[in-house]
């Protein structure tokens, strides 16, 4: 079954063709990062307008790259939740029209759940040359989902049969990377720029707190972000009322690197502490990481040090937002649920992964 998938929930416009939930035929991603970097974060209205400009060319490119015409496509999938409302609307309106014109079944897909399915893509056409996992993960599977909007631990017993073990009570971990980058005067998105700055830093220079929560699987990153802010204000020699936007000009390169490294160490340690605890409690057969922060090398290093099983990683291009993951998950949906009537498809900007997929589909 060949699925054409579309993703437009935040600041990437993407389309991909995926066969049988595992084989990637094309993977087109147009990122708006350069546009939003000027503002230090995603501007929703700008994001929606940019999606409108490129969505049709991106879809056509995905078909061309896959060497396919509409007749070769068996179904269409699209991200309908969660995300920025304007961005989600562009993708869903495009596929509602395409599903009617080309008479294809349509599957609405949950973006966060789909991030996990980047790990199920194990085959590709030669022209793509991504470094893919050798095998699909086995169930029960523990998934650490860490992105700009989500930090959660989910136990999958099978496709669509999952339980949310814990989630962030405030900021997502990627959001903390983005906010700390802003405090330090590093560019957006914060994940890659903090990782780069941290290379020259002392990860033990600053003592930063790990949030202690009643539930061992829940996360909280807003205190860590504030602790970095206070420590930077303290170190540059001014009081706690000093405006944060004036801090970057006063921080030295050495301080910036040490703060980046110390923050990254604690943020990642927090994720790995919880993943290790869940691994001990549930003894899953596989562990996967998903979402933009899964691209973080320090996270991969710490996990391989502390978990007793070998983890296979999705390539970086499939960790951050993409449509391949949407097409992969849609295949498993298509085995279990009826397609959605295009005229009934609506977007849901906030929808967490609390219920099993089949129950919410």
Residues that bind ligand KG4 (CB under 6 A): 10, 147-149, 174-175, 177-178, 189-192, 195, 291-293, 295-296, 320-321
Q: Compare residues 30 and 99 and give the one whose CB is closer to ligand KG4.
A: 30
Q: How many residues bind Zn ion (CB under 5 A)?
A: 2
| 3-state DSSP assignment of residue 159 | coil
Q: How far is the CB of 79 from ligand KG4 (least distance, A)?
A: 10
Q: Compare residues 19 and 321 and give the one whose CB is closer to ligand KG4.
A: 321
Query: Per CB under 5 A, does 175 bind Zn ion?
Result: no
Q: How far is the CB of 321 from Zn ion (least distance, A)?
A: 4
CA distance 88 to 347: 6
106 strand-pairing partners:
76
Q: Compare residues 160 and 190 and give the one whose CB is closer to ligand KG4.
A: 190
Please select the residue that binds Zn ion; options are 321, 326, 333, 356, rule is CB under 5 A.
321
Residue 95 is classified by DSSP as H
Query: Per CB under 5 A, does 147 bind Zn ion?
Result: yes
Residue 170 is classified by DSSP as S
| Per-residue contact flags (x/-) with Zn ion for residues 263 to 302, judged by CB under 5 A | ----------------------------------------
Q: How far is the CB of 83 from Zn ion (least distance, A)?
A: 8
Query: Per CB under 5 A, does 7 bind Zn ion?
Result: no
Return the range that interacts with Zn ion (CB under 5 A); candidates 24-32, 162-170, 244-252, 319-327: 319-327
Please choose which of ligand KG4, Zn ion, none residue 190 contacts, taking the beta carbon within 5 to 8 angstroms, the exact cut-off set by kind: ligand KG4
Q: Compare residues 120 and 259 and give the one whose CB is closer to Zn ion.
A: 120
Please choose which of ligand KG4, Zn ion, none residue 339 contacts, taking the beta carbon within 5 to 8 angstroms, the exact cut-off set by kind: none
Tokens of 55: 């969505």
**Inter-CA distances, 149 with 42, 111, 114, 319, Å:** 12, 11, 14, 14
Q: Compare residues 28 and 73 and give the one whose CB is closer to ligand KG4.
A: 28
| Per-residue contact flags (x/-) with Zn ion for residues 10 to 39, judged by CB under 5 A | ------------------------------
Q: How far is the CB of 192 from ligand KG4 (least distance, A)?
A: 5
Please choose which of ligand KG4, Zn ion, none residue 191 contacts, taking the beta carbon within 5 to 8 angstroms, the exact cut-off set by kind: ligand KG4
Write the CB contacts of 354 (distance below 8 Å, at least 6 apart in sequence): 164
Cβ atoms within 10 Å of 185's Cβ, excluding its own: 16
Tokens of 80: 């309908």
Comparing CA positions, the residue from 159, 194, 206, 221 lying closest to residue 295 is: 194
Q: What angle do CA 263, 83, 119 make, to 5 degrees?
A: 70
Whether 73 and 3 have beta carbons less than 8 Å apart is answered as yes
Whether 6 and 15 have beta carbons less than 8 Å apart is answered as yes
Token pair 């609390």: residue = 354
Write the CB contacts of 143 (distance below 8 Å, at least 6 apart in sequence): 116, 153, 154, 155, 156, 162, 287, 288, 289, 290
Q: Compare residues 12 and 65 and give the one whose CB is closer to ligand KG4.
A: 12
Q: How far is the CB of 175 from ligand KG4 (least distance, A)?
A: 6
The dihedral region occupied by 172, where left means phi > 0, alpha psi between -120 and 50, and beta the remainder, is beta
CA distance 130 to 134: 12
Q: Which residue has its beta carbon closest to ligand KG4?
A: 191
Binding site for Zn ion (CB under 5 A): 147, 321
């Amino acid at each position: 079954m060949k699925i054409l998938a579309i993703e437009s929930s935040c600041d990437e416009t993407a389309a991909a063709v995926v066969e049988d939930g595992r084989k990637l035929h094309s993977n087109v991603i147009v990122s708006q990062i350069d546009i939003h970097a000027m503002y230090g974060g995603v501007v929703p209205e700008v994001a929606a307008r940019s999606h409108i400009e490129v969505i049709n060319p991106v879809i056509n490119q995905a078909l061309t790259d896959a060497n396919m015409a509409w007749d070769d496509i068996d179904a269409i999938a699209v991200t309908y939740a969660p995300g920025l409302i304007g961005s989600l609307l562009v993708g869903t309106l495009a596929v509602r029209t395409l599903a009617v014109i080309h008479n294809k079944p349509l599957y609405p897909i949950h973006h966060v759940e789909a991030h996990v399915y980047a790990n199920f893509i194990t085959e590709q056409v030669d022209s793509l040359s991504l470094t893919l996992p050798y095998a699909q993960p086995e169930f029960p599977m523990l998934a650490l989902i860490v992105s700009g909007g989500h930090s959660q631990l989910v136990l999958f017993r099978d496709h669509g049969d999952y339980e949310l073990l814990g989630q962030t009570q405030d900021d997502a971990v990627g959001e903390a990377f983005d906010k700390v980058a802003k405090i330090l005067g590093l560019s957006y998105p914060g994940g890659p720029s903090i990782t780069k700055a941290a290379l020259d830093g002392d990860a033990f220079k600053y003592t930063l707190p790990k949030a202690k929560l009643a539930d061992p699987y829940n996360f909280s990153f807003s205190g860590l972000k504030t602790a970095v802010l206070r420590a930077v204000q303290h170190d540059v020699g001014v009081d706690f009322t000093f405006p944060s936007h004036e801090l970057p000009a006063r921080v030295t390169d050495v301080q910036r690197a040490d703060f980046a490294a110390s923050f990254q160490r604690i943020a990642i340690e927090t994720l790995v502490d919880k993943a290790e605890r869940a691994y001990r409690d549930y003894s899953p057969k596989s562990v996967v990481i998903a979402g933009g922060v899964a691209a973080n090398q320090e996270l991969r290093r710490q996990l391989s040090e502390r978990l007793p099983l070998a983890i296979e990683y999705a390539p970086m291009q499939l960790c951050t937002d993409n449509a391949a993951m949407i097409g992969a998950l849609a295949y498993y949906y298509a085995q279990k649920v009826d397609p959605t009537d295009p005229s009934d498809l609506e977007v849901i900007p906030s929808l967490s992964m609390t219920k099993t997929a089949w129950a919410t589909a």
